[in-house]
Structure 1
Amino acid sequence: HFEAKAVLDAIDGEEVTWLPVVPTMLAAFEREPAREQPKHLAWCLSAGAPLSDDLCARAEARLGCEVRQGYGLTEATFSTIDAPPAAKSPGSVGRPVWGVEVRVVDGDGNDMTVGEAGEVRVRGQNVMAQYLDDDAATLAATPGGWLTTGDVGLLGGDGVLTIVDRLKDVVIRGGNNVYPSEVEAAIACHEAVAEVAVVGRPDDYYGEEVVAVVVVRAGENPSPEEIVKVAVGRLPVTSLPREVAFVGALPIGPSGKVLKRELRRLLGKGELTTTKVGD
């Protein structure tokens, strides 16, 4: 069970020099009372979910060290890392680790051009041998020997990978792809926002509607309109949330990731109250 205070105490008490985290942990550190920056912490490695630039900057100010990102999954451990001593590549998850190849492809498995988003595929010694007793699932997940990750990403000309979102989390509103991580990063710029998760809700007209589920900082009381307004100019109009819900805490799984499927379930059952914003 993760407790922010206990981890911060351990960092100081055990003179920790390197810390692996997920973004939710960094957000939890912010809620703790102010204290001196760790004296020995050299850098942090964030993985498991996209890390917004705003949260990254706040975490670095709080911890007094660089927060970098890496990318991996259950079937392929770490595939890329933005690791020292190379200069930090802000917003990216770095370059492929030794022995690992990374591609970004379209729906037909064709390579995307530099800077274009598509599905990330991985090949290397870090990829699983197979799914236990499920040959069919193994073959489906590894066409041509490349693992299909289910993640949307893009490769830069320098080989750096940027993860955009999970394919299953992409909201398709009126035929437009809305990447929740981009919407979350924009909303996180509001000073009253402690945490935010963006999901899609079925809609008869648009197919899906964009919903922002927000946890506000103690003592803050922003309106739904104020939450959306901060994203105006940072996002295309089609990506702006049309509904906002305020909650005391986001549902978190054992790995520290936000359980977006639970938010979608609550929305579907009408157990999460939202306020409409705009048209």
Structure 2
Amino acid sequence: MNLAALLLASADSRPESISVIEGDRYVTALELRGLASIFGGALSAAGVGIGDRVAIASGNDLAFIVAYLGALWVGAIAVPLNPHSPSVAVAEELEHVGAKILVCGRAGSIHLGMVGAVAFDALMESAQPATLSSSGLVEREDSDVAVLLYTSGTAGAQRAAMLTHANLSSNIKQVLDDSGLAITPNDLSLGALPFFHVFGLNVVLGVTLVAGGTVVLIDPFTAAEALRLIQRHSITVVAGVPVMFDALTSADSDLGDDLGSVRLAVSGAATLSAKSSTAFTQRYGVTIHEGYGLTEASPIVTSTASGGEARSGSIGPSVPGVEVRLVGLDGIDVSAGDPGEIWVRGANVFAGYWGDPEATQRVLTDGWLHTGDVAVADADGYLSLVDRLKDLIIVSGFNVYPAEVEDVLRTHPSVVDCAVAAIPDERTGEGVGAWVVLKTGERVDLEALRRHVGSRLARYKIPSKFTFVDELPRSEAGKLLRRALTL
């Protein structure tokens, strides 16, 4: 089944319901399907056919949604790209996937000079009535690729993950089958997460549309505007990343602290610190549920909302229909309480990396996805992330997970944010390096920081070098880019 049929099903069941709000524009489910059909017809007239790659460079706006649905409508493969990327990087991605066309919204207009690039508005205006009348939804097989999404590249070279119609629709249904995460037709979701990221694309946008709810668009994200929209529209669901929730917590807004309409707040893409979670709840009275997912899993794997209880430091149990194992380096499941790599299996697991069978083979074994993330499980099946295998620091033969050092550093009253990574050390092979962001106007003694870490952790886990920075390198989805840390 074509994913677009699922995303646009409300046009039949609830045609007058509001699917999207952008500024003062309210788009009904029936209107949205009409726009998707029109844009699909325009793509067909431009020579786009089944299986062609349609790249989309746009912000979180109606243009992106219509371009995405229109590409699926004609049986093409949608390739959402970061509109703020340099044109050189975009050109490499277009060449890599062999894109037929690049659709540019307002945010992506800087790329309009590239070969194959066309403005969204120009394509819509080019649509001919004769073409539109025959632009019916193209049927696709469940196993056909619907979307190519570039992974964040936090662990190395970027790759395009092949997500099929079945992968994406399955994860939407898995979320909707979860009583703790399910969206209803009465819900309004804040569309703040980038739609070129799988969390924004298939959770915020996909789940909300299929549920018959409303996506309220915000672009760009600012804490003040988010608070204004939440209160104006009585938004009920807020999905974000830790940096967004931190911004909301520290926002100096005249709108006050009332988020009483919000019934569900979920955080993902990066680890939410206990300090951040507590501060947000203290200000707004809203509990943040943390979850875990990845592009290759479409993306949701676990959530504390699924277990019905937000536990500090936990990413929760797996959602319905998703199997999870914790596996040791020997390929055998670890004992209870021991750390192991998260392996995931389910209909949501991707088909592989575009044009890279070797990389695909490395991460897929008998349907099990090797995530590269390490976690421990408690007796209730709640998982807690330890770190990424590739980020492991080995000091004189002893294992140091960056996250455990970061968690301790963040408890220091002067520390706002921090990152830990391996640094060269002639004596121990690798050492522990820490990059620290301090509160504005504060200074801290290095030995005091070392003593702070040493009071909680073994001596070999104490950073041997501290670097103070104004901010940490992060992707637009809020993920820490460890490879960009410099001494």
SS in structure 1 of the partner of residue 305 of structure 2? coil
Indicate conservation of the 8 Å contact 1:104/1:154, yes or no. Answer: yes
SS in structure 1 of the partner of residue 436 of structure 2? strand
SS in structure 2 of the partner of residue 93 of structure 1? coil
Shift of 1:51: 2.0
Aligned to 1:132: 354
1:70 aligned to which of 291, 316, 319: 291
- In our comparison, the structure showing a higher alpha carbon Rg is 2
Distance between the aligned counterparts of 2:370 and 2:444, measured in 1?
40
2:245 aligned to which of 23, 26, 33: 26
Residue 46 (structure 1) aligned with residue 267 (structure 2): yes
Distance between the aligned counterparts of 1:92 and 1:211, measured in 2?
25
Aligned to 2:436: 214
Identity of aligned residues (%): 39
Deviations 1:120-151 (A, max 9, x none): 10001111022223333222211122100010
Indicate conservation of the 8 Å contact 1:24/1:257, yes or no. Answer: no
Distance between the aligned counterparts of 2:369 and 2:307, measured in 1?
29
Aligned to 2:236: 17
Distance between the aligned counterparts of 2:229 and 2:435, measured in 1?
31
**Corresponding letter in the other structure for 2:385:** I
Considering only aligned residues, what root-mean-square deviation do their CA atoms show, in Å?
Answer: 1.8
Distance between the aligned counterparts of 1:120 and 1:59, measured in 2?
29
Shift of 1:2: 3.8
Residue 186 (structure 1) aligned with residue 403 (structure 2): no
Shift of 1:85: 7.3
Aligned to 2:397: 175
Distance between the aligned counterparts of 2:450 and 2:238, measured in 1?
33
Indicate conservation of the 8 Å contact 2:269/2:293, yes or no. Answer: yes
**Corresponding letter in the other structure for 1:94:** G
98-107 or 13-22, which moves further after superposition?
13-22
Indicate conservation of the 8 Å contact 1:52/1:184, yes or no. Answer: no
Deviations 1:152-176 (A, max 9, x none): 1112222111111111112111111
User: 1:1-279 to 2 correspondence within 5 Å?
Assistant: 1-33=220-252, 35-76=256-297, 77-83=299-305, 86-263=308-485, 266-267=486-487
**Corresponding letter in the other structure for 1:24:** V
Q: Structure 1, unaligned stretches of length 5 or more?
A: 268-279
43-52 or 120-129, which moves further after superposition?
43-52
Shift of 1:71: 0.6
Indicate conservation of the 8 Å contact 2:435/2:469, yes or no. Answer: yes
Indicate conservation of the 8 Å contact 1:150/1:168, yes or no. Answer: yes
Structure number with higher helix proportion: 2
Normalised to the residue count of structure 2, the TM-score between the two structures is 0.52
Shift of 1:14: 2.9
Shift of 1:93: 0.8
SS in structure 1 of the partner of residue 371 of structure 2? strand
Deviations 1:189-239 (A, max 9, x none): 111111111111111111111111111112322222233332232222221
**Corresponding letter in the other structure for 1:43:** L
CA distance 1:132–1:112, shift in 2 (3 Å)? same
Aligned to 2:61: none
Distance between the aligned counterparts of 1:180 and 1:84, measured in 2?
27
Q: Structure 2, unaligned stretches of length 5 or more?
A: 1-219
Aligned to 1:273: none
**Corresponding letter in the other structure for 2:455:** G
Indicate conservation of the 8 Å contact 1:215/1:248, yes or no. Answer: yes
- Number of aligned positions between the proteins: 265
SS in structure 2 of the partner of residue 231 of structure 1? helix
Indicate conservation of the 8 Å contact 2:306/2:319, yes or no. Answer: no
Distance between the aligned counterparts of 1:227 and 1:15, measured in 2?
43
SS in structure 1 of the partner of residue 447 of structure 2? helix
CA distance 1:261–1:53, shift in 2 (3 Å)? same
Normalised to the residue count of structure 1, the TM-score between the two structures is 0.88
Shift of 1:25: 2.2
Structure number with higher strand proportion: 1
